[in-house]
C-alpha cells in the first residue's frame, strides 16, 4: 500500500491528503448512492446499523484507533 498507493511518499502530508481525497472521489463516482454510506465513526452505531438494516447493539461502540494500538500494528514508523 505504501509504495503502490503513495508512490513511496507516505511521509509527505500533501501527498497523503491528495491520495485520500482522490480515493474518496473515485469511490463516490463508482458506487451508487443507495449502496454507499459516508460515515463518521463518531456517529456511533445508529447510522451504520440503519444503513445495514440491523438493530443497534446493546454494546458500547468500539473505539480502536489509539496511538498505542496504531504502533502495535505498524511499529514506530514516522507518520508525517
pLDDT in tens, 38-68: 999 889 999 999 999 999 999 988 876 677 8
H or E stretch covering 29: helix 13-30
d(CA 19, CA 41): 21
Residue 58: its pLDDT value, please?
95
What predicted TM-score, i.e. pTM, was given to this entire model? 0.61
Residue 5: its pLDDT value, please?
76
d(CA 3, CA 31): 26
- With cell 497523503, the residue in question is 16
Residue 12: its pLDDT value, please?
79
Amino acid at each position: 500500500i505504501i509504495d503502490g498507493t503513495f508512490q513511496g511518499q507516505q511521509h509527505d502530508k500533501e501527498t497523503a491528503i491528495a491520495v485520500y481525497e482522490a480515493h474518496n472521489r473515485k469511490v463516490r463516482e463508482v458506487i451508487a448512492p443507495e449502496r454507499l454510506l459516508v460515515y463518521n465513526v463518531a456517529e456511533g452505531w445508529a447510522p451504520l446499523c440503519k444503513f445495514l438494516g440491523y438493530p443497534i447493539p446493546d454494546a458500547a461502540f468500539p473505539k480502536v484507533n489509539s496511538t498505542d494500538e496504531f504502533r502495535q500494528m505498524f511499529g514506530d514508523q514516522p507518520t508525517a
